[in-house]
Chain A
Amino acid sequence: MQLNKVGIGLIAFFGLIGAAFAVVPILAGVPWEVAGILASIGVIWVLVAAGLLWYARRQKQKAAHSDWIFQQGLRGTATVLHAGSNATVNEMPLMRLRLDLEVPGQGSREVKRREIMPVFAARRMEPGLTLPVYVNPQDPSDFILVW
């Protein structure tokens, strides 16, 4: 997952408006009861923005790690044994995949994987489909599935 323009807008909106709610009434000398209510709302909004920022940052770090595996990792294949979904995130299915992973020098093993995919990609995940994988040379359990 990656942050898009809407996400940047949401973070900016919650962060800036929340900060304004928290600070401006106090600076403007608004009565404490009202300022307290607005400040509480503002703090919640700032926390929402901080949470989104934290998630975006984590996704960026994951993406950087995946890029490293793509460049340095061992290339293998993953054959879909089973694919299913019973949840969606942002209208995208959270796919639960059972894969037969085959990597040169590491043999074959069965692994499970969860991936959020757009609908048009998810519907292609059928048993028998073979996809490329790149495996972390230092940690066989760490791999990226190319879909």
Chain B
Amino acid sequence: MSEVQSSYAELAAARGFEQLSAVAPGPLTPLLVEAGGSPLQPALRGELGAGVTGVVGYLAYKRNKTFRFNVALTEVPAATAFAPRVFCIRRGRSTRDDEFYGFEARHSKLWTESTALNERYAVSTSPYQDPIWLRQLFSPSFVDWLGTAPPADFSFELAYGAVLGSIEVDDPGADGLAALCEATARVATRIRQECEE
């Protein structure tokens, strides 16, 4: 059993997650599109955090080199009506380095007053969204949490209700995976709260 597999087995034992042979989530978010249909393997299903269920798994894909992530996936379907796309990506993250296209789908950079957030993440949204809702989503306490609490290499993508948290460490260990689950659950909970208000 590899170190990654034993980390997942340890997490499953500690938190009562169901062990799955593999999960094929489909191209739900930009990272999963990049992965080109690669499955999450190993993968676990269970409660990522308080009241948030989802899947956590190891994602590896090859373009001109192999990229490795650990990801946690959950859903907040109600978010589509408010903000179809919100991407909060760690600055400096590389998902592909064979990119040669000069034009991409239009997006808007989210403006926030938080230096800590702006230094750590590049936050972008789909254009023509309600700016007030987005400002409320990125409340001072959420921004403060994002800037300090999640794992150092954490990023998240919200795309049409799918919330994907991810870290870049090859084998973060069971504790690192648990932190990924908690951070993703916290993001999903925050989005759900704002949708309900």
Q: How far is the CA of A146 from the CA of B99 in the complex (A)?
A: 26
Question: Which residues of the partner chain A approach B30 to less than 8 Å between Cβ atoms?
Answer: 118, 120
Instruction: Name which residue of chain B comes closest to A4, CB basis.
Output: B104
Number of interface residues of B (CB under 8 A): 26
Option from B29, B85, B102 in Cβ contact (under 8 Å) with A3:
B102
* A120 contacts B27, C-beta separation under 8 Å: yes
- Chain B residues whose C-beta falls within 8 Å of the C-beta of A6 in the assembled complex: 99-102
Please report which residues of chain A, range 1-30, place their CB below 8 angstroms from some CB of chain B when the two chains form the complex.
1-4, 6-11
A119 within 8 A of B: yes
Contacts of B140 on A, CB cut-off 8 Å? none
| B-side interface mostly | loop
Does B106 interact with chain A (Cβ within 8 Å)?
Answer: yes
Q: Are A121 and B99 in contact (CB under 8 A)?
A: no
Whether A45 is near chain B, meaning CB under 8 Å from some CB there, is no
CA distance A9 to B99 in the complex (A): 12
**CB-based contact B33/A2 at 8 Å:** no
28 contacts between A and B (CB under 8 A): A1-B103, A1-B104, A2-B103, A2-B104, A3-B102, A4-B104, A10-B102, A11-B102, A66-B128, A90-B103, A91-B101, A117-B105, A118-B30, A118-B33, A120-B29, A120-B30, A120-B32, A120-B33, A120-B160, A120-B162, A121-B159, A121-B160, A123-B27, A146-B84, A146-B128, A146-B129, A147-B84, A147-B126
Q: B residues touching A (Cβ–Cβ < 8 Å)?
A: 26-30, 32-33, 80, 84-85, 99-107, 126-129, 159-160, 162
